[in-house]
Structure 1
């Protein structure tokens, strides 16, 4: 079964180590195969990975796109350990991400890492507002 991707005008898509850029019209692509695929909106760069959760997402993204967990494994675990020490309430997300990585489901690990980014943003918002309650998590 093919993956169906609809691209807006000018939108980009990463397929494996290639970048596909759409023209000036909406386009529908059907993709078969096992290459890693990420939409432009789901891609973080080193510069935009500017928070602990985003750096974890970026590390998982590198694992997914390069199909090489070992290349960033040490950095990933350092990032995870630092985050859990600073915010123990994130452990449920980290456990889920680790489970997906261990089972080879790196795209699913990315989705959970995206949830972690949202949770982190909620934590920051609560801290800025002075709230003492933790945001609810789906972890």
Structure 2
């Protein structure tokens, strides 16, 4: 069986294709078989007030694409520009870091992109000399 497997806590909220769903009263999991399904766990979502850096803005943009609060056709060109700027900024630390992310976005693997971005949020915080104070640090 291929696809994305999500483990869910009791009563955990998650989004599938822009619809909010809630797990039952016991831990569970779901398998998302297709690559065209947009998935986001509520615990992985940034709140607007947490979007304080360029990497977090990219994360939040992808999050809003998953929840269908942004239109892909309008958003992807700006997202590509933002990623190009990040690629330039992170090239000294790791020249392959952002190109990997860009490929995930081209494939519309948004959940994978968010998971990958978590490590970049941590790196950004280290480079800026800040602590990451969001749920992404967990």
**TM above 0.5, one fold?**
yes
Distance 1:23 1:108, change over 3 A: closer
Deviation track 1:7-36 (CA, whole Å, cap 9, x = no partner) reads 222321111111112344323444555421
* Structure with bigger gyration radius: 1
Unpaired runs of at least 5, structure 1? 129-139
Deviation track 1:35-83 (CA, whole Å, cap 9, x = no partner) reads 2111122122333222211111112223344395322124324533554
Specify which of 92, 95, 99 is matched with residue 99 of structure 2.
95
When the two chains are superposed, the root-mean-square deviation of aligned CA atoms in Å is 3.2
Aligned partner of 1:107 in structure 2 is 111
Unpaired runs of at least 5, structure 2? 132-138
Residues 15 and 38, structure 1, Cα contact 8 Å, conserved in 2:
yes
1:1-139 superposed matches below 5 A = 1=1, 3-33=4-34, 34-66=36-68, 69-83=72-86, 88-89=91-92, 92-125=96-129
Structure having greater relative contact order (Cα 8 Å, sep ≥ 6): 2
Residues 40 and 63, structure 2, Cα contact 8 Å, conserved in 1:
no
Distance 1:40 1:73, change over 3 A: same
Residues 18 and 66, structure 2, Cα contact 8 Å, conserved in 1:
no
TM-score (norm: length of structure 1) = 0.66
Aligned pair count reads 127
